[in-house]
């Protein structure tokens, strides 16, 4: 239960389909590798795009590689509000019914019909980590963080298990700012009530009343 | 223990001393009342200011009234990063050693030497609420929230008790975005371990191992 999980902040970023990549950066263009990310095979690209919504735009938003089957834009709630786009919290790849936005690149534009999400917070881990933490793929857990002035406990955290994953929890910039502003933040899993807060108060009330189930 | 606390989001705002108010809005100027806030006697003003830091600025930031003894600017961590100002989490009024910023009004400018804070999350309540919740002034507690996709438990929440307070928890926009985006959010107090997360994991481990103290 004492598995210590590095917490990484995902700033706003874009995953592109090969088709959209070529519309935005030119026919035959391919992502330019700049830097590996924590998850094996994923990398930051040199390419940048403008992301625009009804109320605002962000310039120079980073593109991550490699290309995926569907284009996906990941923003924080603060970001979606600035753009005037609804905040829809989803796991990566679950894009049905999500809002769209306008992507502007050096060679063209793409008006997305869907694909803008606020990423649901999640933990990547491999099967060995999962055994150590007594969790399985798609479990929902709490994650306890500590910081000097604003520790918090994340609820509704999805566990994703795959041999290709490296141990890391991903939160967006709002979530990162809400709990800490420190170097090398980490969390530990609290596996109770399937990660839902609504049972926790009852449990605490019972404990304080001397009831131990 | 089941006191339900409305959670209110404090967007970026400014409290001014009377002296700074007159520098910014003109000699003899007084705050123009627009709307009452939840805390008795506090109100939103018509007046707006530009808040500037080394890396950026916000236009039309709201001034709250009445004037206070010291000028204080309250921002989220997202905001302080955009302005290029250090994020210092403090209770209202605790301004020693905090960073400054530039305030620009229609009649003048004020270069603050200190006064920019990220407000430490807190609950206002009156003494009757405090008795019902079994807490006292300056207690540190957890607050459990629920939302559809990203509930969380705030740690390090300060309780402030005064007969002049109305029951409300105040969080900044980052904190609000990190837990929910819903109408009428509310929380309940979990009073354990003096509000600190570091004891919680041990407690949970013991419970799951069958140890009940």
Total structural domains within chain A: 2
Look at A145 and B197 and tell me if their CB atoms are within 8 Å.
yes
Residue A4 inside a domain? The answer is no
Say if residue A194's pLDDT is above 60: yes
Q: Name the minimum distance, in Å, from the CA of A174 to any CA of chain B.
A: 5
Q: Name the minimum distance, in Å, from the CA of A63 to any CA of chain B.
A: 21
Q: What is the mean pLDDT of chain A?
A: 91
Segment among A15-19, A167-171, A193-197, B107-111 with least mean pLDDT: A193-197
pLDDT at A210: 59
Instruction: Tell me which residue range forms the domain holding B113.
Output: 10-119
Vertex B184: Cα angle to A80 and A170 (nearest 5): 40
B134 and B54: one domain? no
DSSP-based three-state secondary structure for B94: coil
pLDDT at A196: 77
pLDDT at B207: 59
Segment among A95-104, A176-185, A196-205 with least mean pLDDT: A196-205
- Average pLDDT estimate for A104-119: 98
Q: Is the ipTM of this complex over 0.90?
A: no
- Using the 3D structure, point to which of A91, A119, A147 is the last residue of a domain: A119
CA distance B207 to B213: 9
B43 and B105: one domain? yes
pLDDT in tens, B169-188: 999 999 999 987 677 888 88
Residue B5 inside a domain? The answer is no
* Sign of the dihedral through C-alpha A148, B195, A119, A184: positive
A114 and A168: one domain? no
A93 and A163: one domain? no
- Which residue in B121, B148, B150 has the most chain A C-beta atoms within 10 A of its own C-beta, making it the best mutation to test that interface? B150
B173 in contact with A, Cβ within 8 Å? yes
pLDDT at A4: 86
pLDDT at B184: 82
> CB neighbours of A80 closer than 8 A, spacing ≥ 6?
A53, A86, A87, A116, A118
Residue B102 inside a domain? The answer is yes
pLDDT at A203: 67
Q: What is the mean pLDDT of chain B?
A: 91
A residues 41-70 closer than 8 Å to B (CB): none
B27 in contact with A, Cβ within 8 Å? no
A9 in contact with B, Cβ within 8 Å? no
Q: Name the minimum distance, in Å, from the CA of B123 to any CA of chain A.
A: 14
Say if residue A193's pLDDT is above 80: no
Look at A177 and B142 and tell me if their CB atoms are within 8 Å.
no
- Using the 3D structure, point to which of A90, A119, A148 is the last residue of a domain: A119
Q: Name the minimum distance, in Å, from the CA of A57 to any CA of chain B.
A: 15
Query: Which structure tokens are listed for A120?
Result: 């649901």
Say if residue A1's pLDDT is above 60: no
pLDDT at B149: 83
Q: How confident is chain B (213 residues) per 10-residue block, as mean pLDDT?
A: 84 98 98 96 97 98 98 97 96 97 98 97 96 92 85 92 96 91 82 75 64 53
pTM for the complete prediction?
Answer: 0.89
Look at A208 and B191 and tell me if their CB atoms are within 8 Å.
yes
Please choose, from the candidates B211, B119, B115, B113, the residue with its C-alpha nearest in 3D space to the C-alpha of residue B172: B119
Provide the CATH number for the domain around residue A126.
Answer: 2.40.40
Please choose, from the candidates B36, B34, B116, B32, the residue with its C-alpha nearest in 3D space to the C-alpha of residue B70: B116
pLDDT at A27: 97
* Tally of CB atoms within 10 A around B67: 19
Look at A181 and B151 and tell me if their CB atoms are within 8 Å.
no
A15 and A96: one domain? yes
Task: Give the residue on B whose Cα is nearest the Cα of A80.
Answer: B177
B77 in contact with A, Cβ within 8 Å? yes
Distance of CA B171 to the CA centre of its chain: 5
- Using the 3D structure, point to which of B119, B145, B162 is the last residue of a domain: B119
């Amino acid at each position: 239960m004492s598995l210590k999980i590095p917490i990484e902040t995902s700033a706003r970023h874009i995953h592109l389909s090969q088709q959209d990549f070529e519309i935005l950066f030119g026919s035959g263009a391919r992502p330019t590798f700049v830097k590996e990310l924590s998850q094996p095979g994923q990398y930051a690209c040199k390419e940048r795009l403008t992301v625009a919504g009804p109320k605002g735009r962000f310039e120079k938003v980073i593109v991550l590689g490699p290309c995926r089957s569907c284009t996906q834009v990941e923003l924080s709630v603060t970001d979606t509000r600035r753009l005037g786009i609804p905040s829809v919290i989803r796991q990566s790849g679950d894009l049905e019914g999500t809002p769209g936005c306008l992507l502007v690149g050096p060679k063209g534009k793409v008006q997305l019909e869907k694909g803008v999400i606020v990423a649901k917070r999640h933990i990547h881990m491999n099967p060995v980590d999962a055994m150590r933490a007594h969790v399985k793929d798609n479990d929902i857990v709490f994650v306890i963080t500590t910081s000097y002035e604003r520790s918090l406990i994340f609820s509704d955290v999805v566990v994703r298990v795959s041999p290709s994953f490296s141990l890391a929890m991903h939160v967006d910039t709002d979530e990162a700012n809400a709990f800490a502003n420190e170097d090398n933040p980490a969390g530990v899993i609290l596996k109770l009530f399937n990660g839902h807060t609504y049972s926790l108060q009852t449990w605490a009330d019972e404990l304080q009343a001397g009831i131990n189930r």
